Amino acid sequence: MARKSKKIYKTESGAVVHGVMAEFATPADFYHAAENVRDAGYTRWDSFSPFPVHGIDEAMGLPTPRLPLVAAVIGFTGAGLGYWMQQWMTAVDYPLVVQGKSYDAWEPRVPITFELGILFTAFAVLIGMFAFNKLPRHHHPLMKKERFLRVSDDRFIICVEAVDPRFDPSGTRRMLESLGGTNIEIVEE
Amino acid sequence: MSHAASHAGHGQRRGHADDHNDHDHVIRIDPASVEAPAAWGGTLSTLLIFLGFAGLVVTVFGGYAAAGEHFEGVIHATGSWLVGALFCITLSLGALGLTMIFHQFNAGWSVTARRQLENMASLFPVCLAIFAPVLLVELFITKGGLYHWMHRFLVEAEPGAHVDTLLVKKENFLNIPFFLIRAAAYFGVWIYLGRRMFTLSRTQDSTGDRGLTVKARFTSAWGLLAFALTTAFAGFDWAMSTDPHFYSTMWGVYFFAGSILSATAMLVLILSLLRAKGKLIGLVTDEHFHDLGKLLLSFTVFWAYISFSQYFLIWYSNIPEETSWYIHRRQHGWQNLGFVLCVGHFVVPFLFLLFRGTKKSILAMIVVSLWILTMHVGDLFYIIRPEVYDAKMGLDLWWIDLGGVLGPILLYAGALLRKAASGPLIPLKDPRLAEALAHKNYI
């Protein structure tokens, strides 16, 4: 499939357009607007709210997250490494008799194997979450918008990005308007 | 998908948006959807009870056919029957505990699943009927075949004989009158609590009185304390004391972990079968199964955690009367059953239940709940059966075990199906029913 050349939109002052943002006053409007943006076929857009809105990931049509798989793989790797580390240390590198138990008894390995499995999973989840969210980052175009700051107080915002194949400055604006969005603004890069 | 239940008001309290905001909780439920399949109260349960009695006949016949000089066959048959009886008791116990926990936490999501637990918890009289023969045989026929401490000669010195010092020390607790008083107390508490949970809920079906929910919550508060103590001590009395030298301070939790896991598995099994029969559509949804699957997963891990911890501490401290219990189970072929339990009771269901897809699939849940119940039988078998008698510790006379273990289970299953068919499949007028119907996981 031939890749569509990405169209770059610019404002009158010549700034590159990041996207179009719209405000919603209630979680209900916000939730239904997200469903409609999803159904309109947009893929590169995001939603912002002062608190977690239950079910918003489904309303946005977000794909199944890959984080659980990463957590499982790294967690089991950590558990395996934990077992191997103890086995090597107490049965191979420096065999030590403890309470007359055999060097390679599996029983005493279990707690540390379990702990390292948990530790690796915790790190995988934390670091993976940052990586998938492309965090930390110093700046985001939306931060320049005075009205966007209310998203940490009492406003719900949807921003459709210009890189979306279906993006069209006037069409997207009209759609957001029809969904009940207010204060629709162009966001510059 | 057609929904058997429709409701005008949502019990929404969270940020999730919804258009419904009227306040009347008029819930219309299709009566056919909350009625057990016709066979459950009729042919199917009759068949199960018939097969259960066949198991009883096999056990009794086997016990006397293989009797032997010192009642070895009878002891064997009693031990097998005890495994099955403990299986029924732990199911009812786990169900009673879960019911009271749900009430105590004012749980809304589980309301539509709770009736099946109440049915199980109301079956303690059946459990008593199944368990009583074990006690009668122990007291009047084998006189201490399974519970060795019942032998008087172990604690009362005769000329030229040695007493068992450990049992002399334990005699204040392990003696027949106190043992019977305790057994009566356990069953008294359980029958009362199980009946009360069941009756309050059934009464509410017709009256819709919200005060009954408050009463159930009040009873659960002290009931859980009584439940915890009686469960732990019943575990000590009926399972742990088959090796009266052995003691484990974790035994009560171990017994409880098996109970609550198997009761959850039984609940999931019944709900899955009902869903497969086209019942409870829209009442017990994939979301409920998702959460019940999470409970199964966590109780599986809990059981593994507790039983490993018990083994681990005994292995480390190396105290003779404790380790002897495990040493016996690491020989004579019992180590194979131990390995099966490590893998089958923990690893397999743990990995299987990690996935969201399996928790929401009815077929997968039927498979995994049957698997867990089978493993719970294996766990009880591992506790009781190696203690049966010293001469034959292996699996000879396996058919006595089959009859003895399956007999009580089939009787219990038959009684449970009858109970389920005797009323609606959900608490029809529970004040939190709307919350249960609107339940979603949001992840």
Here the tokens at position B22 are 């009227």
Q: Is there a contact between A26 and B17 if contact means CB atoms under 8 Å apart? A: yes
pLDDT tens for each residue of A152-170? 999 999 999 999 888 888 8
In a domain, B75, yes or no: yes
In whole angstroms, what is the distance from residue A128 CA to residue A150 CA? Answer: 29
Q: Are A40 and A93 in the same domain?
A: no
Q: Are A114 and A72 in the same domain?
A: yes
- Look at residues A132, A161, A177 and tell me which one is the last residue of a structural domain: A132
Share of chain A above pLDDT 70, in %: 97
In whole angstroms, what is the distance from residue A46 CA to residue A66 CA? Answer: 18
Which stretches of chain B sit within 8 Å of chain A by CB?
14-19, 308, 311-312, 315-316, 318, 354, 440, 442
Residue A4, pLDDT score: 54
Q: Strands A45-48 and A156-161, how do they pair?
A: antiparallel
From the number of C-beta atoms within 10 Å of its C-beta (0-12, 13-18, 19+), residue B144 rates as middle
The answer to whether A65 faces chain B, any CB pair under 8 Å, is: no
In whole angstroms, what is the distance from residue B93 CA to residue B87 CA? Answer: 10
In whole angstroms, what is the distance from residue A50 CA to residue A39 CA? Answer: 24
Here the tokens at position B86 are 């403990």
In a domain, A106, yes or no: yes
In a domain, B298, yes or no: yes
Residues of A in contact with B311 (CB under 8 A): 107
Here the tokens at position B4 are 């058997």
In a domain, A1, yes or no: no
Q: Which amino acid, residue B145?
A: G
Of A55, A99, A110, the CB nearest to B312: A110
Q: Are A113 and A170 in the same domain?
A: no
Rounded to an integer, what is the distance from CA B197 to the centroid of its chain?
Answer: 17
Residue B396, pLDDT score: 67
Residue B14, pLDDT score: 42
Of B15, B316, B354, the CB nearest to A27: B15
Which residues 106-125 of A are in CB contact (within 8 Å) with B? 107-108, 110-111
Residue B392, pLDDT score: 52
In whole angstroms, what is the distance from residue B425 CA to residue B115 CA? Answer: 6
B52 in Cβ contact with B411 (< 8 Å): yes
Residue A1, pLDDT score: 41
In whole angstroms, what is the distance from residue A122 CA to residue A162 CA? Answer: 35
Helix, strand or coil, per DSSP, at residue B404 = helix
Spatial CA neighbour of B373 closest among B254, B256, B276, B264: B264
In a domain, B412, yes or no: yes
Of B16, B19, B316, the CB nearest to A53: B16
B135 in Cβ contact with B208 (< 8 Å): no
In a domain, A37, yes or no: yes
Q: Is there a contact between B316 and A55 if contact means CB atoms under 8 Å apart? A: no
In whole angstroms, what is the distance from residue B261 CA to residue B298 CA? Answer: 9
Domain count, chain B: 1
Residue B394, pLDDT score: 55
B48 in Cβ contact with B410 (< 8 Å): yes
Distance from CA of A18 to the nearest CA of B (A): 29
Q: Which amino acid, residue B339?
A: F
In a domain, A11, yes or no: no
In whole angstroms, what is the distance from residue B291 CA to residue B273 CA? Answer: 17
In a domain, B200, yes or no: yes
pLDDT tens for each residue of B110-143? 999 999 999 999 999 999 999 999 999 888 888 8
Residue B298, pLDDT score: 96
Distance from CA of A101 to the nearest CA of B (A): 9
In a domain, B85, yes or no: yes
In whole angstroms, what is the distance from residue B290 CA to residue B359 CA? Answer: 5
Q: Is there a contact between B15 and A54 if contact means CB atoms under 8 Å apart? A: yes
Q: Are A165 and A152 in the same domain?
A: yes
B16 in Cβ contact with A49 (< 8 Å): no
Q: Are A85 and A120 in the same domain?
A: yes
Return all residues near A171 (Cβ < 8 A) that are at least 6 apart: none
pLDDT at A70 over 50: yes
Domain residue limits at A88: 67-132
Q: Are A53 and A77 in the same domain?
A: no
| Residues lower than pLDDT 70 in chain B | 1-26, 67, 157, 159-160, 389-396, 443
Q: Is there a contact between A31 and B19 if contact means CB atoms under 8 Å apart? A: no
Q: Is there a contact between A110 and B311 if contact means CB atoms under 8 Å apart? A: no
B334 in Cβ contact with B393 (< 8 Å): yes
Share of chain A above pLDDT 90, in %: 53
In whole angstroms, what is the distance from residue B382 CA to residue B243 CA? Answer: 13
Q: Is there a contact between A99 and B15 if contact means CB atoms under 8 Å apart? A: no
In whole angstroms, what is the distance from residue B195 CA to residue B119 CA? Answer: 9
Domain count, chain A: 2
Of B17, B315, B354, the CB nearest to A27: B17
Q: Are A59 and A144 in the same domain?
A: yes
Domain residue limits at B428: 5-155+172-437
Q: Is there a contact between B316 and A28 if contact means CB atoms under 8 Å apart? A: no
In a domain, B160, yes or no: no
Q: Are A111 and A144 in the same domain?
A: no
